[in-house]
Amino acid sequence: MNFKTIVSLASLIMAGVVLHAQALRLPSPTNHKCTAGRTVGVTDIQVKWNAPGVKGRQGRIWGTDIAYYGKQVLGFGSDVMSPWRAGADECTTISFGTDVTVNGKKLAAGTYALFMELAQDSVLLIFNRNINEWGTYFYDASLDVLRVSTRQLKDRIPMVERLTYTFDNQTENTVEIALEWENWRIPFTVAVDLKETVLTHIKSQMSGALGFDPPSLQAAATWCLTNNVNQKQALNWITSATDPNLGGLKSFGPLSVRAGLLRSLGQDKEADQFMTEAMEVATPIELHQYGRQLLGAGKKAEAMAVFEKNHAKSKGAWPTNVGLMRGYSAMGDLKKALQHARLALQQAPDDINRKNLESAIKTLESGKAL
């Protein structure tokens, strides 16, 4: 085999290595592949990134070629000004299961590449549609979906060796996501429309097998009643929940929800009929809780009537004396409230109720209403 043949064969072998290099995946010896996520309401949020280390470069990360300010032409075939990849190796991606807002600006559900354009005292977050690129080498600004500003916190956190994304300060409809590396923290707030996203999620579930399940139908209708949305469809759901053909039962829970939905739709006469039916089949605990709800809504006379009905129907069993204690206290008759408080104390089923009643008795004895 002559020299030319050897060189040609070597070239072919090397070409084969190049052609197949993308198909071979090996673990990175320097950057860790990471995933972190959080669910806010029914919205799943997930970040995927490769985490570089500081590796002794503390004080030489930000504003250098590692995490540069502004944009740079990165070379290696790239000839465009590119923001920082907010991680290492492949581009960092972030996904949202529903529509969200980022620092108050709307962003549709989906998966995006997350880039950052760093400045001395601010950071521009860039959400881009191309989630397959290597870092930002082939950044295309025309694919940006959202750009939104935030401010970094410098030297405000303990040393973080590996770049990470954290989720903090979560509420029922928001969460703060932050990139943390070295001594910098770059936060941004993601918010969801809780009612809209949960309702969409409920409707989707009710269109499947759960639409034939009485407990699920009741739960969906109850959520709508509590949140004052989608009452007409919720009324259909709760009507199905009591359908004997679906295994539904006419118990206090679904009947009272049906009454509540009818009332919210202005159908008071029908609501009263279903509430009367509900109270007839209610347990002492269910009637007691209903009376407490009426008290909480400021409907003292209606609550008192429920407490009296519960006491008579259950012949003074627990917790009907507790109800009368609270009812009489709300009506200003502290003497009768104290009388029923002492009767309830004798019936208390556990230490927690006993201690609560002892405290209530002391309050009433001092001449104060509960």
Note whether 39 and 131 are same-domain residues: yes
* Token representation of residue 5: 């043949």
Residue 77 confidence (pLDDT): 83
Spatial distance between the Cα atoms of 187 and 360, rounded to a whole number of angstroms = 47
How does pLDDT run across 293-325, given as a tens digit for each residue?
A: 999 999 999 999 999 999 999 999 999 999 999
Residue 225 placed within a domain? yes
Each residue of 339-369: pLDDT tens digit? Answer: 999 999 999 999 999 999 999 999 999 999 9
147 and 72 share one domain? yes
Per-residue confidence (pLDDT) for residue 24, from 0 to 100 = 63
Q: Which of 107, 165, 113, 120 is nearest to 136 (CA)?
A: 113
pLDDT, tens only, 210-231: 999 999 999 999 999 999 999 9
Q: How confident is the model at residue 25 (pLDDT cuts 50, 70, 90)?
A: low
Total tally of structural domains belonging to the chain: 2
Domain boundaries, position 226: 195-365
Task: Say whether the peptide bond before residue 284 is cis (omega within 30 degrees of 0).
Answer: no
73: three-class secondary structure by DSSP? strand
Which pLDDT tens digit goes with each residue over 91-144?
A: 999 999 999 999 999 999 999 999 999 999 999 999 999 999 999 999 999 999
365 in Cβ contact with 338 (< 8 Å): yes
Q: What is the pTM of this model?
A: 0.79
Report yes or no: 93 and 111 within 8 Å, Cβ to Cβ. Answer: yes
Q: Are 165 and 222 in a shared domain?
A: no
pLDDT at 27: 58
pLDDT at 10 over 80: no
Judged against a pLDDT cut of 80, whether residue 12 lies above it is answered with no
* Length reported for the chain: 370
In a domain, 16, yes or no: no
Q: Is residue 15 part of a domain?
A: no
Residue 4 has pLDDT above 80, yes or no: no
**pLDDT tens digit sequence for 89-98:** 999 999 999 9
What is residue 177's predicted lDDT score, i.e. its pLDDT?
A: 98
- What pLDDT is stored for residue 23 in this prediction? 59
Q: Is residue 22 part of a domain?
A: no
Does 348 reside within a domain?
yes
User: Residue 235 CA to chain centroid, in angstroms?
Assistant: 26
Q: Do 52 and 188 belong together in one domain?
A: yes
Based on the domain organization, do 211 and 347 belong to the same domain?
yes
